[in-house]
Chain A
Amino acid sequence: MTNTETKDAEGKQHLADPMVKEATVKDDGRFLFYYSFPEKDSTAAVSADEEDKNV
């Protein structure tokens, strides 16, 4: 997996699908990263496939 990352409006990094990384800084200056793993949106995948067919 490589860091093909994007940032959303909240500044969260979307790394290789489906991992999201949110970087924060603690009061004492130390970095803290929350990693989350949203469920894949199967509807979106179908839509993308549909879009491909339409191209």
Chain B
Amino acid sequence: MSELRWHPFLEEWVITATHRQDRTFFPPADYNPLAPTKPGGFPTEIPAPDYDIVVFENKFPSLQRNAPEPAVEGTELTPVRPAVGVCEVVVYTPQADATLAELPLEKIEHLIWVWTDRFEELGSRPEVDYVFIFENKGREIGVTLSHPHGQIYAYPFVPPKLKTEVEAAKKHYDKTGRNLYLDVLDQELTDGRRVVLENDSFVATVPFFARYPYEVHITARGVGKAALTDFTKAEQHDLATILKAILSKYDNLFGISLPYMMVIHQRPTNGTTEDYPYYQFHIEFYPPNRTKDKLKYLAGSEAGAGAYINDTLAEEKAAELRALEPKG
């Protein structure tokens, strides 16, 4: 059973997907569904005996190309609609015990090419308004398969957080004629205290308004960079470089493979980058750790009121990350 139910108080869609209750939960190594299928072995999701990078439609999708009609009737106040869209799994490598941070730079660059192709292909579908690329890493985040992989949700609407970002950026653009993200980036570069790393094409910061202790944003420099498809080969290389460096710093922070949520924020796909001159490509990381063995939970204030409380200072956490290998 799968449908979109309207939340009239928050004015947002909630995806109901009851079949996801049955999804695979930490299978034994011999039954890893993201491994290649070896001759005579357990048939995994990937029939080939080897691969570089594989993308396939999720077996337990929240959104479906041929979504069923809603199982419940909506009302004027609480409408329902089919959960149309696409949910894909992106498998980074056949190596089950690797992490994105550990992959060679060239492999991360290839992954960026694949993300770009998926953004372009899924974004061209008329029913898709937003292509959301993300990775959940670690049991602490609720991951059910440890094999290195990410996901892509192609939504039939612009999700609430992205809608808020786009609207805030447009408001600033209408008022000043300038890109909000680049103005904030200028402010961060001038101040310098929250900058973790930078290269010719991207800047990584613990933002002034960080909500998690080790939250990092990687933001594209320059105008006209609102989506993966806007990058040159050199910029893709720079993105791979800064991505690997930040992930390596994360793993050096407490000497553990740090769990995180990595989310890629791009313009909606119901237009082109020319339609969104006020928006800027960026990647956000939310590691849940406050310390090596203490996690930040989204509790009453965050979940119930939407008001985040960060027990740390962005300036101090940025300095901590800056000092770690690989150096900025």
Contacts and interface: CB of A to CB of B under 8 A. Distances in A.
A30 B48 CA distance: 15
Interface stretch (B9-17, B22-30, B114-122): B114-122
A30 B54 CA distance: 13
B168 interface: no
A32 B52 contact: no
B157 interface: no
Interface residues of A, number: 17
Contacts of A16: 113
B229 A32 contact: no
A15 B236 CA distance: 15
Contacts of A35: 52-55, 110, 113-114, 117
Contact of B56 (A3, A21, A26): A26
Contacts, number: 56
Contact of A34 (B51, B113, B233): B51
Interface residues of B, number: 23
A6 to B, nearest CB: 14
B56 A30 contact: yes
A31 B117 CA distance: 15
A37 B57 contact: no
Interface string B79-120: 000000000000000000000000000000010011011001
A43 interface: no
B20 interface: no
Interface string A4-39: 000000000001100101001010001111111100
Interface of A: 1-3, 15-16, 19, 21, 24, 26, 30-37
25 contacts: A1-B116, A1-B229, A1-B233, A2-B120, A2-B229, A3-B117, A16-B113, A19-B110, A19-B113, A19-B117, A21-B117, A26-B47, A30-B56, A30-B57, A30-B59, A32-B45, A33-B55, A33-B56, A35-B52, A35-B54, A35-B55, A35-B113, A35-B117, A36-B52, A37-B52
